[in-house]
Amino acid sequence: MPEGIRVIAEKCKGCRLCVPSCPYGAIEMHGKLAVINDKCVLCGACVGPCKFNAIEITVAKKEGPKKDLSGFKGIWVFAEQHQGKVQGVALELIAEARKLAADLKEEVAAVLLGDADIKKASQELIHCGADKVYVCADPKLKSYTTEPYCDTIVELIKAYKPEIVLMGATTTGRDLASRIAARIRVGLTADCTGLDIDPEKKILRQTRPAFGGNIMATIISPDFRPQMATVRPKVFKKLQPDASRKGRIIEFPAKISEKSLRVKLLEIIQSTEKKVNLAEAEIIVSGGRGLGCAENFKLVKDLADVIGGAVGASRATVDAGWISQFHQVGQTGKTVSPKLYIACGISGAIQHLAGMSSSDIIVAVNKDQFAPIFNVATYGIVGDLFEVLPAMTKTFKELLS
Amino acid sequence: MNIVVCIKQVPDTNDVRIDPKTNTLIREGVKSIINPFDENAVEAALRLRDAGGGKVTVITMGPPQAADALKTAIAMGADEAVLISDRAFAGADTWATSYTLSQAIKKIGAYDLVLFGKQAIDGDTAQVGPGVAEFLDIPQITFAISIESEGGKIRVKRQLEDTSEIVEAALPAAVTVIKQINEPRLPSLKGQMRAKKMVIPSWSAKDIAADENNTGLNGSPTKVVRIFTPPPRGKSELLEGEPETIAKTLFDKLKEQKVI
């Protein structure tokens, strides 16, 4: 057993609960005793799942004086905006925050940063469920850069003490949340796909996929406030805007130190290809190696066009140069969860599944009936995609017109 | 330019297969590798060094066997390596990991650039690069697809969801890189010999003057309370018949569920 962790033999009941909890396969059963082998990296993932407290990280656990956390109230959502337009994930998070707020009997606030024009976006946030909008308007906040945004939000947190802060698990959300959490010493859970409130302890339970989506972990930050999480886009549904909803707008001055301007944004480059923001797409049609060559991606594009979907791709097709990397779905590409994902000629390697298995409905077309993609498919079609795809495109086109 | 690259040893998910019966991970025989994005970070560091001189130091926090990942980086051409290993680091979340790495980097001292892969493929958080940057009080530039260095500054192209942007920062700075930045080189034979012979120093909590309230389980604000296999997706339905029939059936089902 590696140093730093131990199984307390008297407490271990041999229930095996810890075995699947280890992402590294480092726990073996020796009869009725769990034994940790040297694959262990001391990640601590097995400690919580053991119902008998039989596994301990053998570092003296120091219990400091409990901090008073009662002053922290309210659920905040970072209203990520690009060129003045609030991103969909922010509205989705406001909707989810409303549910959490109902359990906690607290308010939902949106945090909106931008230049002077940004105030206009406040009403949309209120109509979609925010009780309050904190607006920080400053020319230096027009486009996102890490430290000016971090400085301002940290000051806002210090001033108003929220209990929970949520951001989209976008490039911006991940960049910003990480810096804030490090600065104010709070817990941050990345890329959550589930949030709920522990009914007894009234703390936020954050559930996220780990290990390429093969394991789910529920994480808490019991002793630090605010509790912070980034949340995967498209997991929650935004509310229908209600123009009669009223809310308060609270203006807050940006507080940016001179030092924080040390990264200069020189240029924003729009993609030259048709926009492929897969993370925000409601429908994705993806092609894999089964297409055979670059030209056959046309079959995928045709179907996508008919149903208003974006085009995705497996890693194999990107590596083969059939389509640009911006279309890649999977662990080394984009993580998506659209309403509908149609996988064409994709076998379903574990890395691909990690990027799309949280989609609502998955349709798989593959000629190999044993392809792993069928394990996650809502509707499986075992067949030749060169027959099935054109038939789908033609039929869908007729029926939609 | 002196560059520190922070790397992580992870299980090779290319080796991982799903057991079709139980729908769980088959973990037997899964080998440990250097996190793929970190290989890109090492490659980026080597190219900057080869173009402008300086030194590349790779570091990792982990148990003793994580030294293998450092050896891979040495074999690729990194100059020096340090293992940061202490039982006091056990159970660290991203906050405590960031703190610990930053303490080690402070001990290394003269650095211009700190590089990371955008995220590790086991945890997928992307939080440690920015965390280290904050503890070192240096700027961070995440999701880099290119890095150019000139006269004490770097110019970096960041790849975002549907746009990219060019940013500039004075050194020292921290940068996290994406896969598309480069193609990592394979270790050379000479490099492998060097890695084999190299004795990699191991630094403890005391060596890096780490405050034990900030390391390992003690220093971690987050706690894992439950780990479980995701619930299987709803029943799979096989659609059969002629392509046209299948297309019609599928359309009706999707229409019924209001997805199209």
Residue of B12, B33, B178, B226 for testing the chain A interface, max A β-carbons within 10 Å: B226
Provide the residue type at A304 as one letter: A
CA atoms within 13 A on the CB side of A73: 7
pLDDT at B84 over 90: yes
Residue of B nearest to A169 (CA): B125
**What confidence tier does B30 reach under pLDDT thresholds 50, 70, 90?**
confident
Same-domain pairing of A205 and A245: yes
Task: Mutate one of A22, A46, A53, A59 to test the B interface: name it (highest B CB count within 10 A).
Answer: A59
- CB atoms under 10 Å from CB of B106, counted, come to 13
Q: Does residue B89 have a pLDDT over 60? A: yes
Q: Would A392 be classed as within a structural domain?
A: yes
Say whether both A184 and A130 belong to one domain: yes
Residue B143 counted as domain residue: yes
Is B260 in Cβ contact with A283 (below 8 Å)?
yes
Asked if residue A180 lies in contact with residue A83, where contact means CB atoms within 8 angstroms, the answer is no
Distance (Å, rounded) from C-alpha A22 to C-alpha B229? 11
Task: Mark whether A320 and A173 lie in a shared domain.
Answer: no
Of residues A209 and A293, more confidence is placed in A293
Distance from CA of B59 to the nearest CA of A (A): 16
CATH number at residue A149: 3.40.50.620
The CB-side HSE value for A28 (13 A sphere, CA atoms) comes to 8
Average pLDDT over residues A296-314: 96
Asked if this assembly's ipTM is beyond 0.85, the reply is yes
In the β-sheet with B2-6, what is the strand arrangement from edge to edge?
A263-270, B163-170, B153-159, B140-150, B173-177, B113-117, B2-6, B55-61, B80-84, B202-203
A25–B contact, CB cutoff 8 A: yes
The reply to whether B204 falls in a domain is yes
Question: What 3-state DSSP class applies to A354?
Answer: helix
A46-88 pLDDT, tens digit each: 888 888 989 987 765 555 566 788 899 999 999 999 999 999 9
Please indicate if any CB of chain B lies within 8 Å of the CB of A48. Answer: yes
The vertex-B158 CA angle with B12 and A147, nearest 5°, equals: 105
Q: Which chain B residue lies closest to A262 (C-alpha atoms)?
A: B169
Are A44 and B90 inside 8 Å of each other by CB?
A: yes
Cα A337 off chain centre by: 10
Q: Is residue B180 part of a domain?
A: yes
Residues A152, A110, single domain; the answer is yes
Q: Are A217 and A290 found together in one domain?
A: no
Residue carrying structure tokens 């990690």: A354
CB-based contact B243 A383, cutoff 8 Å: yes
Residue of B24, B180, B217 with shortest CB distance to A44: B217
Q: What confidence category does residue A39 fall into, taking pLDDT thresholds of 50, 70 and 90? A: confident
Query: Is the residue at B174 inside a domain?
Result: yes
* Structural domain containing residue A87: 75-257
- Interface contact flag, B237 A267, Cβ < 8 Å: no
The chain B residue lying nearest A383, using CA atoms, is B243
Bridge partners of residue A5, in order along the sequence: A57
Contact A310, A281 (CB under 8 A): yes
How high is the pLDDT of residue A298?
A: 97
User: Is the domain of A92 the same as that of A208?
Assistant: yes
Find residues 354-393 of chain A whose CB sits inside 8 Å of chain B: 357, 360-363, 370, 372, 374-383, 387-388, 390-392
Position B123 confidence tier, pLDDT thresholds 50, 70, 90: confident
* Residues of chain A neighbouring B90 (CB-CB closer than 8 A): 4-5, 42, 44, 57-59
Residues A215, B230: C-beta atoms closer than 8 Å:
yes
**pLDDT (0 to 100) of residue A59:** 62
- Whether B12 maps to a domain, the answer reads yes
With respect to residue B239, please indicate whether it lies within any of the assigned structural domains.
no
Containing domain of residue B56, as a range?
2-219
Contacts of A390 in chain B (CB under 8 A): 243
Q: Domains in chain A: how many in total?
A: 3
The structure's pTM equals 0.88
Q: Does A324 touch chain B (CB under 8 A)?
A: no
pLDDT surpasses 60 at B23: no
Same domain, A49 and A189: no
Residue A233 lies in a domain: yes
Least confident of A25-29, A221-225, A259-263, B107-111: A25-29
Number of C-beta neighbours around residue A39 at 10 A:
18
CB atoms < 10 A from the CB of A330, how many? Answer: 25
pLDDT confidence of residue A95? 98
Number of domains in chain B: 1
Residue of B nearest to A21 (CA): B227
Asked if A212 has any chain B CB less than 8 Å from its own CB, the reply is yes
Q: Which residue matches tokens 């520190």? A: B4
Interface test with B, best of A39, A144, A174 (most B CBs within 10 A): A174
CB contact at 8 A, A222 and A103: no
On whether residue A112 sits in a domain, the answer given is: yes
3-state class percentages of chain A: helix first, strand second, coil last, to nearest 5: 30, 25, 45
> Looking at the domain assignment, is residue B259 inside a domain?
no
Q: DSSP readout, A107-173?
A: -EEEEEEESGGGGGGHHHHHHTT-SEEEEEE-GGGSS--HHHHHHHHHHHHHHH--SEEEEESSHHH
Question: Are A48 and B226 inside 8 Å of each other by CB?
Answer: yes
pLDDT digit string, tens, across residues B153-200: 999 999 998 889 999 999 999 999 999 999 999 999 999 999 999 999
Average pLDDT over residues A347-367: 92
Asked, for residue A70, whether it belongs to a domain, the answer is no
Mean pLDDT of A259-281: 84
Q: Which residues of B touch A325 (CB under 8 A)?
A: 180
Closest CA to A330 of B236, B15, B160, B179: B179
Q: Which tens digit of pLDDT belongs to each residue from A316-345?
A: 999 899 998 889 999 878 889 999 999 999
Residue A248: predicted pLDDT: 97
Q: Which residue of B has its CA nearest to A400?
A: B260
Residue B240 counted as domain residue: no
Residue B76 near residue B40 (C-beta atoms within 8 A): no
Least confident segment among A35-44, A294-303, B187-196: A35-44
A67 lies in a domain?
Answer: no
Sign, Cα dihedral of A21, A23, A27, A28: positive
Q: Sorting pLDDT into bands at 50, 70 and 90, what band is B26?
A: low
Q: What mean pLDDT comes out for the span A255-267?
A: 93
* pLDDT at residue B20 greater than cutoff 60: no
> Residue B250: its chain A contacts at CB < 8 A?
363, 379, 381, 392
- Quote the CA–CA distance of A201 and B50 in Å, as a whole number: 55
Asked if residue A274 has pLDDT above 60, the reply is no
How would you classify the pairing of strands B163-170 and B153-159? antiparallel
Specify whether A216 is located in the same domain as A339: no
Does residue A272 belong to the interface with chain B, where contact is any CB pair within 8 Å? no
Question: What token pair was written down for B208?
Answer: 């890096």
Percent of chain A having pLDDT more than 70?
96
**Residue A67 sits at the chain B interface (C-beta within 8 Å):** no
Of B133, B233, B238, the CB nearest to A382: B238
Query: Within this chain, do residues A107 and A202 fall inside the same structural domain, yes or no?
Result: yes
Which of B8, B17, B33, B127 is the mutation pick for testing A, counting most A CBs within 10 A? B127
> Count of CB contacts below 8 A, A vs B?
328
Q: Do B167 and A264 touch (CB under 8 A)?
A: yes
* Out of B11, B220, B251, closest to residue A396 by CB: B251
Same structural domain, A244 and A282: no
Cis (ω within 30 of 0) for the bond into A199?
A: no
Pick from A388, A17, A41: nearest CA to B122: A41
CATH assignment at residue A31: 3.30.70.20
Q: Where is B48: in which H helix or E strand? A: helix B36-52
Residue in chain A closest to B162 (alpha carbons) equals A277
Contact B23 A375 (CB under 8 A): yes
- Give the model's confidence band at B220: pLDDT under 50 very low, under 70 low, under 90 confident, else very high: very high
d(C-alpha A204, C-alpha A221), whole Å: 8
Whole-number Å distance between alpha carbons of A207 and A219? 6
- Are residue A250 and residue A133 in the same domain, yes or no? yes
* CA A388 to each of CA A349, A382, B154, B177: distance values in angstroms, whole numbers, following the listed order: 22, 9, 50, 39
Q: Which of A6, A41, A83 to probe by mutation at the B interface, max B CB count within 10 Å?
A: A41
- A264 in contact with B, Cβ within 8 Å: yes
In angstroms, the separation between the Cα of residue B135 and the nearest Cα of chain A is 7
Looking at the complex, report in whole angstroms how far the Cα of residue B121 sits from the nearest Cα belonging to chain A: 7
For chain A, the average pLDDT equals 92
* CATH number of the domain enclosing B212: 3.40.50.620
Round to whole Å and give the CA distance between A127 and A134: 15
- DSSP structure string for B81-130: EEEE--GGGTT--HHHHHHHHHHHHHHH---SEEEEES--TTT----HHH
Note the pLDDT of residue B228: 79
Q: How many residues does chain B have?
A: 260
pLDDT beyond 70 at B24: no
The string of DSSP letters for A206-267 reads EEEEETTTTEEEEEE-TTSSSEEEEE-TTSSPPPPP-TT---EEEE------GGGG-EEEEE
Pull the structure tokens for residue A119: 């105030």
Answer yes or no: is pLDDT of B51 > 70: yes
Question: Residue A147: how many CB atoms within 10 A of its CB?
Answer: 21
Q: Are A152 and A184 members of one domain? A: yes
Arithmetic mean of pLDDT, A282-303:
96
pLDDT of residue B29: 65
Are the C-beta atoms of residues A130 and A94 closer than 8 Å to each other?
Answer: yes
- For B8, phi then psi, to 5°, come to -135, 140
As a whole number, mean pLDDT of residues A372-395 equals: 95
**Given an 8 Å threshold on Cβ–Cβ distance, is A42 in contact with B259?**
no
Residue B214 corresponds to which tokens in the numbers above? 């900030």
Cβ distance A269 to B246 less than 8 Å, yes or no, reads no
Q: Determine contact, residues B9/B32, Cβ cutoff 8 Å.
A: yes
